[in-house]
Amino acid sequence: ELESPKNMGFNPPHVFKRVIDRNMGAESGRGIGASKYYINGSPTNIKTVKELVQNVYHIQIDNLCTFLPQDKVGSFSGFNSQALLLETEKALLMKWYQTHMNLIELEDAVRREGTAKETIEDRLARLQQENEAIEREKELVEQRQEAEALHLKLKQKEAWVLFDLVRMDTLQCKKDKDECKKALQLARETLAPYEEKVEKSRKEMGRMHALLSTLDREITASKKNYEKNLSIAEKHQDDIEDIIASINTFDSDQKNAERKVKQQQDKVEEAKERLAQFPPEDEILKQEEELGKEYRRQSQQLSRAKREASTLISEQSELQSKGDQLSHKLSRMNDEKTRRKERIFQQYPELEETYRWIDQNRKLFRRPIHGPIACEVEITDKIGAVYLENHVAISTWKQYVVECREDYNLLYREIRDKRKMNVNIHIVPQGKCEESINRLYSEEKMKMLKEQHGVRGYLDELFVAPPAILQALRTQHSVQSCLVGNQKTEASMYQGLGKILETRENGDPKPMGYSVYTCTNQKVFRHTASVSRFSGHNNLNTIELHNSSRILAAGDSAEQIDALNKEIQELRNKLAELDPRLQAAQVEHDSILKASQQVGQRLKDAKQELLAFRSCNEKVNIAERKLAEFKEDATRDNAAEKEKAIRKLKKLIQNSTSILLAAGACHEGLMKSNYAMSAEKMKEHYVSASLEKVKNKLAEKLSVTRNLEKDFDSITRKFNNLKEKLKENKNKAEAIAPMQDPRGNDLPLKAELELLPATIEEIQIAIDEANQKIQSIADNPEVIRQYEDRLREIAKIKEDIAASAEAHDAKKMDLLSQFKPWHAALMNTVAKVNILFSNYMMELGMAGEVRLSPQAAECQNFKDWGIEILVKFREKAKLQVLSAQVHSGGERSVSTIMYLMALQELMTAPFRCVDEINQGLDERNERLVFKRIVMNSTRQEEGNNHSGQYFLITPKLLPNMTDMEHEDVTILCIFNGQYNFNHFLDWNVDRFLSKKRARCSDESDLATGLSDGENEHNTVKRRTVPRKQRLA
């Protein structure tokens, strides 16, 4: 609860009360209703309380002259001249502050109106210029409209002229149709005689065709019988010739058989001589049996040697296979790229699916597809792998790099849209690295960093990758700007390396950000410096990273690779020991194989000799059988067979003679039929020729008749078409150019059309001329509307310019009328503040001045008007504008409090409050400043003016400050002293207020016996507790 002093002129004084319910929560959150406000016991709201305090008591919470916290001292001294003027006006001249704001608004309005007037005048000139061009276009459009009207009339006249032409053509066509009809009837009457002759000739031709068919069948049958008999006779003749030939060969066959017997006897003797050359069959069989036993014994030895060699070869193959497997495993362990790809695909199966699809469909893309990026980067340094993996995001490691937008769209559509799988894609045009690399430091500075601070280089120098992959990492993660170091670099970071890295080489004092990776024996760090947007200084952030990598980690350790190499070497040693044994087994196998092959060859020769003996014996038997057959043929009797052949010959001759006689009879009948057919064909030719002549005559008559029919049909169609066209033209002409009204009276259009050309040729020429004129002029019906709209707009703009000029002049007059009293009050206030500020600074042994900024006298822009505080703290120094960049914190505090003291001398407010204003002051200035605060806040009241209460909040004060002995100074120690509560629940607000009211009432009664002067003096003290009680 707060109660205003009684001497403020309010009866009764204002009593402000605020009740806070802690159960409702904080007011900044959902507990906005936790506080209840009362004025003189009546409930109200916070808005009403703020308006009463500001308007009646002149207490402005946001005014630094009334409330100045310690953290705002730098802000106050850091105000520019414009802001300082506004704060001063708020504190002393709230009315003139509003006037200043009005002047700024009026000045902006006048400037805007001036600019708007110029814009409107420019628009007026532009519209007038455009209207002149549009006027020319309007004239052309009117000419086009006249040409269109003429074109319409010509089209109407053309319709009636075409109707007359079609009507004349229709009448002529009707006449031609009647003439053609008569000619067609006459032609049809002349066709009958010719048609009767043709019919009679056709019947005769039919009878002849039937007779010729009968004769043709008879000829065919006679010819068939003749050819059949002739074929039988020829066959008999062949048989006769064969029998005669066989009778003649009986004697020669006897002689051939005797000759064959003699030849076969010679062959038998020759075969027996060859058989005598072979040894006996028993000896050959015995030799074959012995060689067989020897061959089986050699085969058993060969099988044994072969098994031994096979065992050694199998062992060798097994060792070699195991060695190949280990070598393949070693090559896979050494193939870091493949191992990493398998490991990544195992972690991200969906990534493997996308990679498999891309690998199978690379021919669909225009340019190569790179990725995933993790599979394309080659790095052997373990620490470098940790640096790179922590610097690059996981999404980038799974990213694919394309070289053109078309491939990007295709890949996104196939993977993301169709297959619903996630895919990250980055575009590097043409797959090339940028020629220029933006490095943070020059080569000279980089050389110094490497030599003195252990910097290894930039992050993109630790790995190898295709150009497209390298450019993608540079674009997305700036690997070309990130430094990497070692243990020495980590130590240097705490010995000034950060200052070196943030310093620009071009002389710019602003720091720049950087990022550097360092390490110790067991730890890896990332140091990142970023420039603050507010303070302009670097904020260093150091993060400890995992000392291992998952994506870029090496697949196998060096110990595993060495163990595998050792195992491979042991296998090679075993193979070297096995080679001599294998060679010996191979030699033994080859010798046994050679001996076995020799025995086998001898066995084969024995078998072939046995086969040759048996074959020769079989040939002797076959030759003896043939000799017996030839002897039997040579002794055979041929007389009976010869007699039998002669009897068969006689019978064949008799049959052949009878068949030849039958064939002659058939031939004679065939000739008679041919003679009859020839006669009938001659008759047929004559009748056919006569029929052809009659048909030709009939065809000529038919052709004439058909032509006449075609002509009649054509004329009929033409006549019908002309009638339709005539009707259509009439309807069209009446539709576009009616000549009569419904009552049959001529319309004015008829007289207008009679004035136009009468022939179709003249009308078409006139239409072409009108078309040419229409086409030569652009069809823009909007031109006339635009022309009329612009005329209206020009008139309106002229009226607006006149009205704007009057308003502009009125605002100028208003601005001048407000400016003069505001300027006078401002100059008076600045002069008063300057006198007080200069005196206060002089008392401190310093110099100070307050003035309007030079811009206020040079320009009329009220936004640029301001107040400058000039101070001098040394005898030989010059006055300088107070600035946070030039003066120390203590100097700014002294100047600020002196300026506030000067303002407070001129302002009216019930109290002021400053927080830790003495912090940062030396002992002398702190004592002087405290003295000035006491003097200003305890001065006696004059008239209605009063100095008001002054609250100085500070954690500590200097000892032996004599000004604290003033009777109007009260010291309050928060949460300290013998009267402090032991527990917060002991505090009872209502009880405290009741006691306080009773004590104030007692003091009022005690003061009634004092004199008027003393009573007046104690009026000031009523605002506070008596000093002895306060000190207690």
pLDDT digits (tens, 9 = 90+) for 22-62: 666 555 555 556 788 888 888 888 888 887 877 777 676 66
Q: What is the pLDDT of residues 58-114, one digit of tens each?
A: 676 667 667 777 666 656 666 777 787 887 777 776 777 788 888 888 877 777 777
- pLDDT reading at 1025 higher than 50: no
Position 738, amino acid: P
- Residue ranges of the alpha helices (H) in 737-781? 748-754, 760-776
pLDDT bucket at 557, cuts 50 / 70 / 90: low
Q: What is the pLDDT of residues 165-193, one digit of tens each?
A: 888 888 888 888 888 888 878 877 777 77
Structure tokens that stand for 747 in this block: 């319309």
36's enclosing H/E stretch is strand 35-39
Residue 829 near residue 93 (C-beta atoms within 8 A): yes
- The angle, 0 to 180 degrees and rounded to 10, between the axes of the packed helices 782-843 and 94-189 is 160
DSSP assignment of 366-394: SS--B--HHHH-B---HHHHHHHHHHS-H
- pLDDT reading at 304 higher than 90: no
Residue 666 and residue 670: Cα distance in Å, rounded? 6
Structure tokens that stand for 884 in this block: 């946070």
Residue 155 near residue 736 (C-beta atoms within 8 A): yes
Residue 302 near residue 633 (C-beta atoms within 8 A): no
Structure tokens that stand for 976 in this block: 């300290």
Q: Which of 828-842, 943-957, 1012-1026 has the lowest mean pLDDT?
A: 1012-1026
Residue 779 and residue 610: Cα distance in Å, rounded? 122
C-alpha distances in Å from residue 898, one per residue of 846, 902, 963: 11, 6, 17
Q: Which of 24-28, 440-444, 1015-1019 has the lowest mean pLDDT?
A: 1015-1019
- pLDDT reading at 915 higher than 60: yes
Residue 977 near residue 937 (C-beta atoms within 8 A): no
C-alpha distances in Å from residue 187, one per residue of 173, 241, 570, 905: 21, 79, 123, 142
Which residues are bridge partners to 484 per DSSP? 457, 517
Q: Is 376 exposed, middle or buried (0-12, 13-18, 19+ CB in 10 A)?
A: buried
On average, the pLDDT of the chain sits at: 78
- The angle, 0 to 180 degrees and rounded to 10, between the axes of the packed helices 81-92 and 889-906 is 30
HSE, side-chain direction, 13 A CA sphere, residue 374 = 31
pLDDT of residue 1026: 34
Q: Which of 359-363, 436-440, 973-977 has the lowest mean pLDDT?
A: 973-977
C-alpha distances in Å from residue 680, one per residue of 211, 674, 739, 758: 8, 10, 83, 78
Q: Write the secondary structure of 131-197 as one string of H (helix), E (strand) and C (coil).
A: HHHHHHHHHHHHHHHHHHHHHHHHHHHHHHHHHHHHHHHHHHHHHHHHHHHHHHHHHHHCCHHHHHH
Residue 756 and residue 169: Cα distance in Å, rounded? 23
Residue 733 near residue 160 (C-beta atoms within 8 A): yes
- pLDDT reading at 943 higher than 70: no
Question: Could you tell me how far CA 333 lies from the centroid of its own chain?
Answer: 38
Largest CA distance in the chain: 207
pLDDT bucket at 593, cuts 50 / 70 / 90: confident
Chain position carrying tokens 């469909």? 361
Q: Is 723 exposed, middle or buried (0-12, 13-18, 19+ CB in 10 A)?
A: middle
Q: What is the pLDDT of residues 237-281, one digit of tens each?
A: 777 777 777 766 666 666 777 777 777 778 778 877 777 777 777
Q: What is the pLDDT of residues 603-622, one digit of tens each?
A: 788 778 778 877 887 877 88
Q: Write the secondary structure of 679-690 as one string of H (helix), E (strand) and C (coil).
A: HHHHHHHHHHHH
Closest by alpha carbon to 815, among 196, 3, 107, 11?
107
Most trustworthy range by pLDDT among 639-648, 678-687, 900-909, 925-934: 925-934
pTM, rounded to two decimals: 0.36
Q: Which of 305-319, 745-759, 840-854 has the lowest mean pLDDT?
A: 745-759
Residue 890 near residue 922 (C-beta atoms within 8 A): yes
Residue 581 and residue 595: Cα distance in Å, rounded? 22
pLDDT of residue 516: 93
pLDDT of residue 458: 92
Structure tokens that stand for 245 in this block: 């030939």
C-alpha distances in Å from residue 999, one per residue of 15, 100, 1006, 1022: 17, 48, 11, 12
C-alpha distances in Å from residue 927, one per residue of 207, 840, 844, 939: 164, 13, 10, 18
Structure tokens that stand for 828 in this block: 């008076």
**CA end-to-end span of the chain:** 22
Question: Could you tell me how far CA 434 lies from the centroid of its own chain?
Answer: 22
Which residues are bridge partners to 942 per DSSP? 945
Chain position carrying tokens 């010959």? 649
Q: What is the pLDDT of residues 496-547, one digit of tens each?
A: 888 888 888 888 888 889 999 999 888 899 999 988 776 778 888 888 888 7
Q: Write the secondary structure of 182-216 as one string of H (helix), E (strand) and C (coil).
A: HHHHHHHHCCHHHHHHHHHHHHHHHHHHHHHHHHH
Residue 403 DSSP symbol: S
Residue 440 near residue 514 (C-beta atoms within 8 A): yes
pLDDT of residue 402: 93
Residue 125 near residue 793 (C-beta atoms within 8 A): no
Percentage of the chain exceeding pLDDT 70: 86
Position 575, amino acid: L
Three-state secondary-structure class, residue 559: helix
Q: How many residues does the chain have?
A: 1032
Residue 585 and residue 308: Cα distance in Å, rounded? 7
Which residues are bridge partners to 881 per DSSP? 870
Residue 131 and residue 127: Cα distance in Å, rounded? 6
pLDDT bucket at 427, cuts 50 / 70 / 90: very high
Position 844, amino acid: L
Q: What is the pLDDT of residues 245-254, one digit of tens each?
A: 776 666 666 6
Can you count the helices (H) and strands (E) in the chain?
27, 17
Radius of gyration of the chain from Cα atoms?
A: 68
- pLDDT reading at 874 higher than 80: yes
Pairing state of beta strands 847-852 and 867-872? antiparallel
Chain position carrying tokens 């707009």? 793
Structure tokens that stand for 550 in this block: 């998952």
pLDDT bucket at 753, cuts 50 / 70 / 90: confident
φ, ψ at 293 (rounded to 5°): -60, -45
Closest by alpha carbon to 378, among 554, 519, 516, 547?
554
Cis ω before 12 (30° cut-off from 0): yes
Structure tokens that stand for 858 in this block: 């040079």
Q: Which of 239-253, 281-295, 877-891 has the lowest mean pLDDT?
A: 239-253
Residue 99 and residue 815: Cα distance in Å, rounded? 10
